[in-house]
């Protein structure tokens, strides 16, 4: 529904229609999550008991469902700030909630010794007052009524994405599930640590796309849209590729400083894992363009195919190649997804060859330098910095990005 509001907000030009759209989407999300919450309270205790799930309904699952419900109240208010380009309010609301949650979690877990329960309670205690803030945002920018034409329009737009969302979750967790049954806990631990490091790039990708998405939908169908997309895509991809290469190059130093000796070898997994993360960055741009074209069925189909590829590759190759097979499966599945999306896009001047070469250079050069340099050293860090500089120069030339103009481009969006 958040994608629906982002796409259709700019189609409506009257403020009254926009407020009705916001209110309809918000009330629809509330209704759906009330149904989920009621079903959970009625059915989950019996399901947990029947399947002998070790995590109890009370308090953990019960708190998790309540937290999920309250968290859903934030979706449309945060979208409102994005489409209205009120970046300060968006950042202030998001960061303040995160900081409060972290501080309260530390207090409950460390000071009061509440363990896992403390992490759930911290989220709940912060979400309760923030739910009031979200209510006030909708009160100001929306109408508390449902337009059934908007509901029908929204479901038509969103329904094709739902199977894809489910498959995306399968794609995200299938590697851990299969690894758990085929490798030792030491290998699984190293894999998880490497995944967390690669996740840093994914956070940057998602944050960057949230800034781009409203502008993409606002400009869709207008003169100069394809020029805007090409410039934005090249700049966005350049930032991802350069960030990914830096993360890979210096992953050895990060593991050496931040982890125990048993995990030091985990840096070798980062270049393999980073490919899949980079391709999620490409994926969000391609998906955004297709959402602008209202072709959400293609997005859902690509995710279903990607999940099928990921699960298949993991099942076949993890027993033989372990954690490296899991990392490769992610890259292969996202490459298949991106190829489907790329083929479906209709804008002129689209390219995938240059981008693919730049992506493949990241793990290739990283492993060559790891092999040549060996242990962490000042000389090694210096050589890596030089390699990073050369790669930055190459990316900017290949994608025709002028770094001196990047800041003004982002501010003016011209």
Q: Which residue has the tokens 């489910």?
A: 166
What number is the average pLDDT over the span 305-323? Answer: 88
Q: Is 338 a residue whose pLDDT tops 60?
A: yes
Q: Both tokens of residue 301? A: 């189909």
C-beta of residue 259 within 8 angstroms of C-beta of residue 183:
no
Q: Is 240 a residue whose pLDDT tops 70?
A: yes
Separation CA 13–CA 33 (nearest Å): 30
Q: Both tokens of residue 192? A: 């998880």
The share of the chain scoring above pLDDT 70, in percent, equals 96
Separation CA 346–CA 344 (nearest Å): 6
- pLDDT 10s digits, 148-175: 999 999 988 888 778 777 777 776 777 7
- pLDDT 10s digits, 44-77: 999 988 888 777 899 999 999 999 999 999 999 9
Q: Both tokens of residue 42? A: 């009625």
Sign of CA dihedral 158, 160, 162, 166: negative
Distance of CA 411 to the CA centre of its chain: 23
Q: Which residue has the tokens 């529904």?
A: 1
What number is the average pLDDT over the span 347-361? Answer: 85
Q: Is pLDDT larger for residue 190 or for residue 289?
A: 289
- pLDDT 10s digits, 242-256: 999 999 999 899 888
Q: Which pLDDT score is estimated for 34?
A: 97
Q: Is 391 a residue whose pLDDT tops 80?
A: yes
Q: Give the count of beta carbons closer than 10 Å to the beta carbon of residue 390.
A: 11
The pTM of this model reads 0.72
Q: Which pLDDT score is estimated for 407?
A: 53
Q: Is pLDDT larger for residue 107 or for residue 181?
A: 107
| Mean pLDDT over the full length of the chain | 86
What number is the average pLDDT over the span 84-89? Answer: 84
Separation CA 345–CA 330 (nearest Å): 23
Separation CA 78–CA 85 (nearest Å): 11
Three-state secondary structure readout of 323-392: HHHHHHHHHHHHHHHHHHHHHHCCCCCCCCHHHHHHHHHHHHHHHHHHHHHCCCCHHHHHHHHHHHHHHH
Residues in the chain: 414
Q: Calculate helix-pair angle for 115-141, 87-106, nearest 10 degrees.
A: 160
Q: Both tokens of residue 297? A: 């069925």
C-beta of residue 31 within 8 angstroms of C-beta of residue 3:
no
Collapsing DSSP to helix, strand or coil, 349 comes out as coil
348 Rama class: left (phi>0) / alpha (psi -120 to 50) / beta: beta
Q: Which residue has the tokens 């489409």?
A: 83
Q: Which pLDDT score is estimated for 413?
A: 44
Q: Which pLDDT score is estimated for 110?
A: 81
Q: Is pLDDT larger for residue 131 or for residue 254?
A: 131
């Amino acid at each position: 529904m958040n994608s629906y509001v982002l796409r259709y907000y700019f189609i409506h030009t009257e403020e009254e229609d926009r407020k009705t759209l916001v209110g309809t989407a918000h009330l629809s999300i509330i209704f759906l999550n009330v149904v989920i919450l009621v079903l959970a309270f009625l059915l989950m205790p019996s399901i947990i008991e029947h399947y002998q799930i070790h995590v109890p309904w009370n308090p953990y699952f019960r708190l998790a469902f309540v937290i999920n419900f309250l968290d859903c109240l934030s979706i449309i208010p945060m979208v409102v700030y994005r489409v209205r380009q009120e970046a300060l309010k968006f950042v202030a609301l998001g960061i303040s909630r995160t900081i409060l949650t972290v501080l309260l979690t530390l207090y409950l877990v460390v000071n009061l010794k509440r363990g896992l329960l403390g992490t759930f309670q911290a989220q709940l205690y912060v979400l309760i007052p923030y739910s009031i803030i979200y209510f006030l945002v909708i009160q100001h920018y929306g109408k508390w009524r449902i337009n059934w034409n908007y509901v029908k329009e929204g479901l038509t737009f969103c329904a094709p994405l739902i199977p894809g969302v489910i498959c995306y979750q399968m794609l995200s967790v299938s590697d851990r599930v299969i690894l758990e049954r085929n490798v030792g806990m030491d290998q699984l631990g190293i894999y998880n640590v490497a995944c967390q490091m690669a996740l840093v790039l994914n956070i940057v990708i998602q944050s960057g796309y949230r800034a781009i998405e409203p502008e993409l939908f606002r400009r869709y169908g207008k003169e100069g849209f394809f020029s805007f997309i090409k410039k934005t895509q090249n700049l966005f991809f350049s930032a991802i590729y350069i960030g990914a290469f830096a993360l890979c190059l210096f992953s050895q130093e990060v593991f050496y400083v931040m982890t125990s000796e048993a995990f030091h070898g985990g840096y070798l997994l980062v270049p393999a894992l980073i490919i899949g993360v980079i391709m999620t960055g490409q994926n969000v741009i391609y998906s955004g363009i297709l959402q602008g074209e209202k072709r959400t069925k293609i997005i859902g189909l690509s995710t279903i195919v990607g999940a099928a590829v990921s699960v298949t590759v993991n099942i076949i190759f993890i027993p033989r190649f372990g954690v490296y097979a899991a990392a490769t499966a992610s890259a292969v599945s996202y490459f298949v997804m991106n190829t489907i999306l790329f083929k479906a896009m209709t804008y002129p001047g689209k390219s995938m060859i240059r981008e693919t070469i730049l992506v493949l250079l990241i793990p290739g050069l990283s492993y060559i330098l790891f092999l040549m340099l060996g242990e962490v050293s000042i000389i090694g860090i210096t050589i890596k910095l030089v390699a990073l500089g050369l790669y930055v120069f190459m990316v900017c030339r290949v994608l025709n990005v002028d770094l001196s103009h990047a800041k003004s481009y982002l501010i003016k969006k011209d």
